[in-house]
Amino acid sequence: MTSTDPNRKPVPQNRLRRPAVYSALALAACALWGTAFPCIKLGYEWGEISGPASQILFAGIRFTIAGFMTWALGSIFAKKPLGLDRKAVLPVAGYGLLQTTLNYILFYIGMANLTGSRGSIINGTSAIFAIIAAWLLPPHERMGLRKIIGCALGFAGIVVVNIGGLAGGGDSQLYGTVLMIVCAAVQGVANIDLKKIGGCGSPFQITAFQLGIGGIILLAIGLVSGGQIGAWPAHFVWLLLYMSFLTTAAFTLWTLVMRENPVGRISVFMFSIPLFGVLFSALFLGEQVFTMENAVSLTLICAGIVLVNRDDPAMTEPE
């Protein structure tokens, strides 16, 4: 779709295609997403949240607030209320249903059955699904040897850090693992959709409306299903506001770099999300994560990111 946003030129296009720039922005987004894993676990505890309906309600509140927060910030920067072109409503709404509603139903229920570090590691497979989807779906980005090896290294890193993870976990952990893998697949496909709707508006416009639409639907599902937040202590409210902010910042940055670069080249940075998730889970949840497996995983994942992002003109254009 051709861009309908007359103000679309926040950053010169060539700058967003510089490795140092898109790497910094993509890693910043991934670091923010990495903090979400322990935050969700803390939110369940502090808000006395249990059961799928209440977990979905919690997600709905977060993403609805994030949508309004993004809209307000975007309106301030644009010096006028953000709107969306009529032709862009359906594509952006469809992306919101996929990326926010479906993705986070799976994510929030899956996280309730996993530790913060384990959930972040399994969710890291979304980078693999995104790169494979970019190859299989139009416009079919090239799957060069470097990209194949980079994906293999990233996948190996996730396997290494997950060794023995399901041992003794029982049905609950198996259930959470399956949901998180499906969630990762949805995230991978959603990146292709985001690339396609990149011309529907500015990053603020796309982020605000997809989060708002997807969040309101989550909110409605949670309420209709009987979900409830058991407690509203001050620290829970501040946590909820931070989670909404990280959503606004991460999705805006991700949308900015994704629409100016090939999906496979940016999606590989998603391999860093489990590393950030593991680190923040150790800091905030006290989980034991400083192991040899994690060190090997870090090395493999970083090697995969570097390899995929080495200059290779054949990998930057669709077939």
Each residue of 17-73: pLDDT tens digit? 888 899 999 999 999 999 999 999 999 999 999 999 999 999 999 999 999 999 999
Q: Are 217 and 281 spatial neighbours (Cβ–Cβ below 8 Å)?
A: no
- Greatest mean pLDDT among 45-49, 115-119, 158-162 lies in 45-49
Percent of the chain predicted with pLDDT > 70: 88
Task: Give the residue from 239, 268, 187, 258 showing the smallest Cα distance to 58.
Answer: 239
Query: Cα 281 from chain centroid?
Result: 17
Q: Are 102 and 235 spatial neighbours (Cβ–Cβ below 8 Å)?
A: no
Task: Give the residue from 204, 241, 179, 253 showing the smallest Cα distance to 31.
Answer: 253
More confident residue, 244 or 287: 244
Q: Is the pLDDT of residue 238 over 70?
A: yes
Taking the model in full, what pTM does it have?
A: 0.82
Q: What is the pLDDT of residue 298?
A: 72
Q: Are 241 and 96 spatial neighbours (Cβ–Cβ below 8 Å)?
A: no
For Cα atoms 188, 190, 194, give the angle at the middle one, nearest 5 degrees: 125
- Residue 133 one-letter amino acid: A
Q: Is the pLDDT of residue 199 over 90?
A: no
* Average pLDDT of span 4-28: 73
Which DSSP string corresponds to the chain? Answer: -----TT--SS-HHHHTSHHHHHHHHHHHHHHHHHHHHHHHHHHHHTT--SHHHHHHHHHHHHHHHHHHHHHHHHHHHTS-----HHHHHHHHHHHIIIIIIHHHHHHHHHTTS-HHHHHHHHTTHHHHHHHHHHHSTT-B---HHHHHHHHHHHHHHHHHTTTTTTT-HHHHHHHHHHHHHHHHHHHHHHHHHHHTGGGS-HHHHHHHHHHHHHHHHHHHHHHTT-------HHHHHHHHHHHHHHHHHHHHHHHHHTTS-HHHHHGGGGGHHHHHHHHHHHHH-----SHHHHHHHHHHHHHHHHHTS--GGGSSB-
Q: What is the 3-state secondary structure (H, E, C) of 72-109?
A: HHHHHHHCCCCCCCHHHHHHHHHHHHHHHHHHHHHHHH
Q: What is the pLDDT of residue 14?
A: 64
Rg (CA), the chain: 19
Report how far residue 54's alpha carbon sits from residue 62's, in angstroms, rounded to the nearest whole number: 12
Q: Are 174 and 114 spatial neighbours (Cβ–Cβ below 8 Å)?
A: no
Report how far residue 252's alpha carbon sits from residue 204's, in angstroms, rounded to the nearest whole number: 6
Q: Are 98 and 186 spatial neighbours (Cβ–Cβ below 8 Å)?
A: yes
Range from 13-17, 112-116, 262-266, 274-278 carrying the lowest mean pLDDT: 13-17
* Average pLDDT of span 138-165: 76
- Residue 55 one-letter amino acid: Q
Query: Cα 35 from chain centroid?
Result: 11
- Residue 31 one-letter amino acid: A
Q: Is the pLDDT of residue 316 over 50?
A: no
Q: Is the pLDDT of residue 168 over 60?
A: no
